[in-house]
Chains A and B, each alone.
Chain A
């Protein structure tokens, strides 16, 4: 009951006109930075932190959280409309969002993204409200072996991601893993795989460089070849019938919403993971468990809902360790954490009792921010759809420029721009040869996390893999590991099972 009182206070705090104005303003900025390739929530929040020194801490966190939130929605826009991930958190949204747009169902894709984000955001903030302290305890118990088990689970779901061609999928995963090892060794700090001694490789391969290359440049080349430059997007009409149809399509995505919301939140509260892995894992698992998993990647609304739901859910979740443990759950919350320290707050187990106005103001504002971003997004869909009316001859150069700036922005080195172009061509060729590229993107994100967790665990266990399977010592890790193994072998037995099942039916 006490919680309800605090929450109402928080919601009223965020409804004060000043806070509300900041919240809406923050959502709009977030939409913009999220939609611009190369600018993500991390940059948005980092750039805006100084502004927050002149306003009270509660207003400041409401503003920045709204930017963070808006960016999660915004990322989907360029993923769907241009086929370039607007932010790292929206890479998985490209997988099905883009094909939907190409089929002429951009309206459905954007609606699915907005509604999915809303559901994920709302479910996670409710979970946050109800269970913050016990969940902080879970986050605390989630250490290296548990993290590694979770990563194995993510990879297991992705073996099924590339369709039935398991060898090609594994090949793609391995390419991603190999690329993720470039740079400095995580444990010893020694440089490794620095090809031709080019210093640009020292910072490793930024995952956005790969994603923008493959999806931005690769997609453009593909479209050019397919259409010889005469792209005719199917006619788009925005009327109530279309809107109704778009919402109707969401009925089939309830499972994706559940998976995205809960998995996203859970991955979000784990330190060091964040919204990008959450959205990729949610996509993989939804696909794996879906009845029509073969249609994923060709444009199904569930394929948009799953990652969008998860990235919003995870971004809320990642605020939990930030507030209760003082540990950032994502790169963006790391910046927010810095802000909190500067506002004179000590994040940690005592924050909830010492600064209730701040904490509950933030939580209350998340409910409100969710509502407003949904309304803004639905209202702006016709404006976003205008993009599709632009002739390809004009759009292609624009996409190209956005790709180059997006590749350059994170590290500000031209090395990455060349790499991005290279990945673009490589992605195009892989696609011609019918190799799935999504698994490579997943593994370059999760590879470093998995490697670090694996090596930390093996140091703890003196090199014994038993640490991942010991149910009495590390129950969480072991259970996740066994689930991962089941998920891994499922696709192998799937066709066999189906064949047996069919035989029975015909017999």
Chain B
């Protein structure tokens, strides 16, 4: 980012501060460290973004108090969501989302989570996508070069797929693929995307549907390879991996949203503060570079746009779950 842009940003944020200080006598700022709840294990995609956000905030002093990431990986996000639900009105708690926040309330009605009323959506920063991964030296997938090879193989044989937990994104995707391509696989849940990636390269599973960053280390070393990326276009971070549209499977399109929410019942001032903080992070040079290099799509969304988006995604996931069962 050029200096002028940076300056402009400073001016904008200053004026934002000025405006908010006019509209209310005391603009909100955190009075103690802010808990950032991660509904997934350490080393996965959400964990990485959460820690990146923490780092960017700390390094540049964007907030008056530190942000502390806390992993609550139990129950496909159930533990984290229950925790945040109980924190209604708490001004020092945030949660980063995986798509499991859309599926867990439906799959686990006994938790009593109401997605639309128990949280205050703040902003979406990134959308992440999925790829079909196999190990370069996978013993059951030897000779598979393309996604079509893979489908043919998977149809005849019960392959093992490593995933991030019962009814999480990748298991739903497996359900989608089962409907579209007519193959099924044995689903083995691990704790977090990092462990899933290791399970593939270690030969325990035959394929995975990891996010780009989760396989990045193994991809760069040539231990794993991707067959298709579930987006309309290729991604510059994986130039040789075809998109699903290119291969003629436009229905195979799926995104993971990296958004942030606060508990329900917080003041508008507080909501504004955190949205502003996230916006600053979003425009940070380091944050941008890191995510683009990592194959992610930068996609800021807030306010009503975000609420609409969440409503549509929630409905879409409800549909996928219905077809899955």
Residue A294 is within 8 A (CB to CB) of chain B in the complex: no
Q: Do the beta carbons of A338 and B51 come within 8 Å of each other?
A: yes
**Residues of the A chain whose Cβ atoms lie less than 8 Å from the Cβ of B217:** 325-326, 346-351
Verify if B308 is at the interface (C-beta below 8 Å from A). Answer: no
Residue B276 lies at the interface, judged by CB distance under 8 Å to chain A: no
B74 — which chain A residues lie within 8 A by C-beta?
183-184, 186, 189, 202-204
Can you list, as one digit per residue, whether each of A314-344 has a CB less than 8 Å from chain B (1) or not (0)? Answer: 0000000100011110010011011101100
Within 8 A of A (CB), among B72-128: 72, 74-79, 82-83, 86, 104, 107-108, 110-111
Cα–Cα, bound, A88→B216 (Å): 32
Across the interface, A191 reaches (CB within 8 A) one of B110, B195, B221, namely B110
With A341-B48, A341-B51 as given contacts, are A203 and B79 in contact (CB-CB < 8 Å)? yes
A53: chain B residues within 8 A (beta carbon): 55, 58-59
Assuming the contacts A349-B217, A350-B217, A456-B188, asked whether A140 and B52 have C-beta atoms less than 8 A apart, the reply is no
Interface assignment of B189: CB less than 8 Å from any CB of chain A: yes
Q: A187 and B202: CB pair below 8 A?
A: no
Residues of B within 8 A of A490 (CB): none
Contact with A along B44-60 (1 / 0, CB 8 A): 00011001101100110
- The yes or no answer to A185 lying at the interface (CB within 8 A) is yes
A142 in contact with B202 (CB, 8 Å): yes
The B185-242 residues at the A interface (CB cut-off 8 A) are 186-191, 194-195, 197-199, 201-204, 216-218, 220-221, 223
Does B30 touch A at the CB level, under 8 Å?
no
Main secondary structure of the interface of A (DSSP, over half): helix
Q: B68 contacts which of A46, A189, A199 (Cβ < 8 Å)?
A: A46
A50 engages B79 (CB within 8 Å): no
When the two chains form the complex, which single residue of B42, B83, B107, B189 contacts A337, counting CB atoms closer than 8 Å?
B42
Known: A141-B202, A452-B191. A189 touches B43 (CB 8 A): no
A190 contacts chain B at the CB level, 8 A cutoff: yes
Residue from B74, B77, B187, B203 whose CB has the most chain A CB atoms within 10 Å: B74
Cβ contact within 8 Å between A338 and B47: yes
Q: Which of B108, B187, B188, B197 contacts A190 (CB 8 A)?
A: B108
* Chain B interface helix/strand/loop/mixed: helix
Interface range on chain A: under 10, 10 to 19, 20 to 34, or 35 or more?
Answer: 35 or more
- Separation of A331 and B71 alpha carbons in the complex (Å): 10
Q: How far is the CA of A347 from the CA of B75 in the complex (A)?
A: 28
B68 to chain A, nearest CB (A): 7
Q: Which of B159-167, B247-255, B298-306 contacts A (4 or more CB under 8 A)?
A: B159-167
Asked if A271 contacts B82 (CB within 8 A), the reply is no
Counting CB contacts under 8 A, is B66 at the interface?
Answer: yes
Q: Provide the residues of chain B in CB contact with A46, threshold 8 Å.
A: 68-69
Task: Tell me, in angstroms, the Cα distance from A346 to B202 when the chains sit together.
Answer: 19
Query: In the complex, what residues of A have CB within 8 A of residue B194's CB?
Result: 326-328
- State which of B69, B79, B108, B201 has its C-beta within 8 Å of the C-beta of A140: B201
A327 touches B165 (CB 8 A): no
In the complex, A184 Cα to B100 Cα: how many Å? Answer: 15
Please state if A184 and B79 are interface contacts (CB–CB under 8 Å): yes
Instruction: Let me know if A419 is at the binding interface, CB within 8 A.
Output: no
Q: Kindly list chain A residues whose C-beta atoms are within 8 Å of the C-beta of B221.
A: 348-350
Q: A69: shortest Cβ distance to chain B, in Å?
A: 20
How long is the Cα–Cα vector from A335 to B189 in the complex, in angstroms?
Answer: 23
CA distance A434 to B66 in the complex (A): 47
Q: Which residue of B lies closest to A347 (CB)?
A: B217
* Interchain CB contact under 8 A, B198 and A140: yes
**Residues of chain A in range 448-488 having any CB-CB distance to chain B below 8 Å:** 452, 456, 459-460
Chain A interface residues toward B at CB < 8 A: 46, 49-50, 53-54, 140-144, 183-191, 199, 202-204, 271-272, 321, 325-328, 331, 334-335, 337-339, 341-342, 346-351, 452, 456, 459-460
